[in-house]
Amino acid sequence: MILSTMYAITRRLLSLPALLLRRDVSKEAELLVLRHQNAVLRRQIPRVRYEPADRLWLAALSHLIPRHTWGKVFPITPATLLAWHRALAAKKWDYSKRRSPGRPPTAAAVKALILRMATENTGWGHWRIHGELTRLGHKSSASTVWNILHQAGIDPAPRRSGPTWKQFLTAQAEHIVAVDFLHVDTINLKRLYALIMLEHGSRRAHLLGVTDNPAGPWTAQAARNFLMDTNTGTDMRKLKFLIRDRGGQFTDAFDAVFADAGPRVIKSPPQAPKANAHCERLIGTLRCELLDRMLIFNENHLRRTLTRYLEHYNTARPHRSMGQLSPAQAETGPPTPIDLTSHRVRHRAILGGLINEYQIAS
């Protein structure tokens, strides 16, 4: 009995190292399985997103694992742990949610005004536009104007280059007038001549006279009569240039009449109607809208017809170059927009019904 008991005890004692050895082997096998499973998952999932609890658990266990075995056990690198720590520190000291609101956004109307100023004034930089806004009473910074222009693809500090030809001619237009002759054949084939003047800036047209013999003395007298007429509305003191062709009707006496009033007479090149294009365009309009559609009986008839049409041309005919306004409207400003459905429009026939004018009935 005693022997059997001791045998059992001895057997148990001898089997204990084997049991411990088997447990170590099982743990190693389990670790190998987990490592292999980790490697398989890494191949299948390119990037694993860890929750805050996962990051805390991995960070807590990181100091228990030797550094030389991290590549086999941990799916992250020490640099990743450091990045997590930096993110936690930055989050702790982040006061962005407690900050007061920054600079308010610029209103859409102000942005549109800034872009409009930059478009209409190509030589203006952001400081010049900022000054204009300040003068109008709007408070903003120059950097705000700079950013708005930069985002719109406009140079905030443009080079101060010269104006384009269109800008140059537009700026000079209000100081230029042009004259030319228009010939008309009457019903009995008698040729008459009308001396027309056009102001480039306002597009106002004037009839200086009608004759069947446009000699030099008559042309000079027609110029004197025009300058003495106070009802023309033309301020000769603002004019600097008068353009005319090299026709024999324009003598030195004609040039002297206008030179005394102020404008300098400029002669266009020979056989170059484009050099006096505005006046040629007016003559073309007179033929297209008036003279090609009616017969002229005599000199008085032509004078009355041209006078009535030029009155319509200056006060009621729209011009594309002036935003579809008449010269009179361009001087006083465009009309107030209205709803035509609630107003009655009446028309007035002029020149025997050849042309109609439309007005809002009062």
* pLDDT tens by residue, 179-191: 999 999 999 999 9
Q: How many CA atoms lie within 13 A of 57 on its CB side?
A: 7
* Domain residue limits, the chain: 1-46, 51-81, 108-151, 170-320
Task: Categorize the per-residue pLDDT at 1 as very low, low, confident or very high, splitting at 50, 70 and 90.
Answer: low
d(CA 11, CA 225): 147
Tell me what pLDDT residue 340 has: 76
**What is the per-residue pLDDT for 79?**
76
Q: In CATH, what class is 170-320?
A: alpha beta
Digit-coded pLDDT (tens) for 19-74 = 455 556 666 666 666 666 666 666 666 676 777 777 676 676 666 666 666 666 66
Instruction: Say yes or no to pLDDT of 252 above 80.
Output: yes
Query: Does residue 11 surpass a pLDDT of 60?
Result: no
- Residue range 285-334, pLDDT digits in tens: 999 989 998 999 999 999 999 999 999 999 988 888 888 888 888 888 88
Q: How far is CA 112 from the centre of its chain?
A: 9
Residues 227-249 have pLDDT tens digits of 888 777 777 777 888 889 888 88
Q: Is 247 left (phi over 0), alpha (psi -120 to 50) or beta?
A: beta
Give the H or E element holding residue 316.
none
Q: If residue 184 lies in a helix (H) or strand (E), which one and from where to where?
A: strand 176-185
pLDDT at 85 over 70: yes
- In 152-187, which residue ranges form alpha helices assigned H by DSSP? 165-173
What would the two tokens of residue 219 be? Answer: 């042309």
Instruction: Give yes or no for residue 111 having a pLDDT over 80.
Output: yes
Cα–Cα distance, 44 to 224 (Å, whole number): 100
Cβ neighbours around 283 below 10 Å, total:
20
Give the whole-angstrom CA distance, residue 87 versus residue 81: 10
Q: What pLDDT is attached to residue 70?
A: 66
